[in-house]
Amino acid sequence: MRMRPTLSWTPAEDLPPGTTDPEPVADALDTGGVLVLSGAGISTESGIPDYRGEGGSLSRHVPMTYQDFTADPRARRRYWARSHLGWRTFGRARPNAGHRAVAAFARHGLLTGVITQNVDGLHQAAGSEDVVELHGSLDRVVCLSCGASSPRRVLAQRLEEANPGFEPVAAGINPDGDADLTDEQVGDFRVVPCTVCGGILKPDVVFFGEAVPPRRVEQCRALVRESASLLVLGSSLTVMSGLRFVRQAAQDGKPVLIVNRDPTRGDRHALTRVALPLGPTLTTVAERLGIPVDGRPPAPLDHPLRGA
């Protein structure tokens, strides 16, 4: 029986309340030197659900663990059937206003970098460069035996050829690109091996129960050290992979600002948490700073957040 990963936390009653004032975020960006740490919440407006928010996928879905994937051929069949179907939807997702605002901030020299916990590639699609993908990316596949890497689109074509007529209707899509299918819908889905050595193929992402590569963690820690402040966008910070950078920034005396509608595990370390939707909030902040998003001109001078 699959065990559910420990993926939740209970907010303490003494957590500071959220605010609806994005001015501190605008002030931090105006100063510059901001490092962005993004989570699943920034992609919900692109049609990809988050894990823990209202209607989050964890209410119906147990994510694949590294231990299950490597030990159980049936788990791998189930994963690849669900992921293959989910990829069709996942691959069609497009950046939203939040992703585009982050790219605009970077173009104007306000950011030192972007760390994302997401595996959807939407920051890069919006124009952000040098994004550190903390948990990897679904658009790459790696062999667990020989380490060969290949594009996901190549595997998708191979899986199409190995499973003609595989067209089940999924109940939903999850942040990891995994579609909700029953065992009956998975059926006898055929998994294909590595073309180099015949080994087991795995998406180039960090599964639950798997460690983030140490060099990637150190790269992120260096970005925190080099930044003046940390801006968390759309992450509950439930798991340590992202929370450790919030703690590092706070310990170094650097302001931590969070934009997330629900309380997060990092709130006690933050200067403020803005409890507003990400896309509209970041667009408003961009207007406050006179930065066009998607080629739109900044708001007029009498915009309520622009001030005198």
Pick out the residues of the known binding site: 39-59, 117-120, 143, 146, 194, 197, 234-236, 278
Q: Which residues are annotated as a binding site for NAD(+)?
A: 39-59, 117-120, 234-236, 278
Give whole-number Cα distances, 78 to 42, 64, 121, 192, in Å: 28, 10, 24, 13
Q: Which of 99, 123, 135, 269 is catalytic?
A: 135
Which structure tokens are listed for 305? 């957040």
Write out 153-219 in H/E/C secondary structure: HHHHHHHHHHCCCCCCCCCCECCCCCECCCHHHHCCCCCCCCCCCCCCEEEEECCECCCCCHHHHHH
Q: Based on the residue annotation, tell me whether 269 is a catalytic residue of this protein.
A: no
Cα 300 to Cα 98: distance, rounded to the nearest angstrom: 21
Q: Which residues are annotated as a binding site for Zn(2+)?
A: 143, 146, 194, 197
Angle between helices 97-107 and 278-288 (to 10 degrees): 30
Which sign, positive or negative, has the C-alpha torsion 208, 214, 216, 218?
Answer: positive
- How many Cβ atoms are within 10 Å of 152's Cβ, its own excluded? 21
Which active-site residues does the annotation give?
A: 135
